[in-house]
Structure 1
Amino acid sequence: MTSPAKPVGPGAGATLATQGTRILLVVVFSFPLLFMFVSSFKPDAQIFADLTSVRAILPIGDISLDNYRGVFDRVPAGRMLLNSVGISLLTVVLGILVNSMAAFSLSRMRWRGQKVVLMGIIATLIVPFETFALPLVWWVDKLPWLQLDGFRLVMTEGWLDSYHVQIIPFLANAFSIFLFYQYFQSIPKELDEAARMDGASWFGIYRMVVMPLSGPAIATVAILTFLPAWNQYLWPLMVVQTEDYRPVMVGIQYFFQLNVSWGQIMAYASMITVPVLALFLAFQRAFIGSIASAGVKG
């Protein structure tokens, strides 16, 4: 005998609808990336000819690497990529250290004015960068810096046209401090007391107890720090004059001078998008876990 078919309840229909909606959203949001990547292998004439058909997202027709070769002929793409990688990685590593230590002090230690400082840090989130960009340029132009001259260090004035002017002003970040603060609050403080009983210092508690338990928060801050560091455009335009220190985003303006090549623009955009996608794919599980836990515990 054949067993009767199980009726499909309303829950199964809702699940199918949810999965269908997710697939549709993936297609919609991935379409621009797919179009950009496919167009990077096509000449300009074919890009415009394929716009009105599905061929726009298919790697068919006159496919070649000419656009990628043209990118390196038109801009110092290799140097700019190395600059952005170095600037972004240093900003992430140092930013995690600075912001997590500030959050540790605010969440685990007790000192006078703690809440006032925390409220002041959170209040800075409402101030857009454009409002203090010009005063910041004036300040960094006056700050001293040690520079190697031959075999001796000399004190110079001004940070303009350098790597550190693109890193140091963005290490402390209010949102990163608040995210670490929220996550540290969810870690039982009894662990601190046990470590203190064993003779651990506050820095020892931070290094050996709190940070090893904060992997999701670290991954989230790493992504949220890397993205603006990688996408910086306005600030490098204001403080960097020579190509030796320029990041990749500034290179976009090179393609709109004289003859505009949309194929080369797509190739360059594909090159500078890959590191961001790779970073997110590498840390997506920890990133989603941190956001989910913040929503439950916050």
Structure 2
Amino acid sequence: MFDKLLKALSLEEENSVEKTDWKGPLLITLFLFSAVIGIGTVWYQHVRNSKAYRYDDSMTVSENGTRIVYDNDGAYLINGKKVLSDTYAAIEKDLFSDYCRVINKDGLIGFIAKEDGRIVIKPQYTDASPMSNQSSCVSEGNGFYFISENGERMTENYEDAYPWERQGTLARVKNSDGWAVIDRKGTILFDRCESIDSLPVICSAGTAVRDGHVLLLQYSDGSDETASVQLVKEFEEFLEVSQVYNDQFAVVIGKNGFGAIGFNGDIIMPAVYKDLDWDSYKIPDEVFKKEIVFKGKKKNGRLDVMNWNPLKNQ
């Protein structure tokens, strides 16, 4: 009996070995595969952390997929796995431009091409606006001037300046006589102002202050060769003025408070209010102009309301 039992156990062990022989190599393979994956993951995390790699879609700067990448050494342009540019302290994304501003290790600004990362203008400026309309407003630390996209100087030096406006045809600059409007050639079209509000993008109406008086201005719709600025009306009774809203009206400040004027020169609301607010409403069959409801707060806290339709008040 005992011999039979031993034999049975021996047969069972042999069968067991035969049934499990195929599992051994598989388990070893799985173990080695898991080990390789684990080592690879650890190595990837180490490389990623050591490079301080930061990337997201918001750093893409061109339609062909060129993007800005930062690592421990700085910033550079890359497309796929190909590094396109030198490394800089920082690279600006600069939407709607074919170029990126770059800041080098010395803190100076230059320009590189988004397409291939080539240096277009070497870093040399302390201030520079994005390259737009084939030009940038720059400074080397003493005044401002405009350059073309290849770095050539376009204008004289100014005490202060804004980038090109009005589709790149006009700019506001400041010299010893005050603020002025210039064209692409640097010709002064309107000057000696204490302030000139931002130039309209599409519409033609603008505002300024000169000699303490509010001015209504009209900008031509021509190209840079025919650009002009015309004085529509001067208001001696007002001290400050906003930009023109909807190409229809502007808010003014007089000695006694806030008011509103129309672009045709009419006074819509007298400048006597502590505060002035408004809502705009669409006019049927009208694309640009809107009906305006003005609400002027009087000194006693009550409101004066005026419904102003520019089509009925032309």
TM-score w.r.t. the length of structure 1 is: 0.23
Higher relative contact order by CA 8 Å / sep ≥ 6: 1 or 2? Answer: 1
Higher helix content, 1 or 2:
1
* Higher gyration radius (CA): 2
Higher strand content, 1 or 2:
2
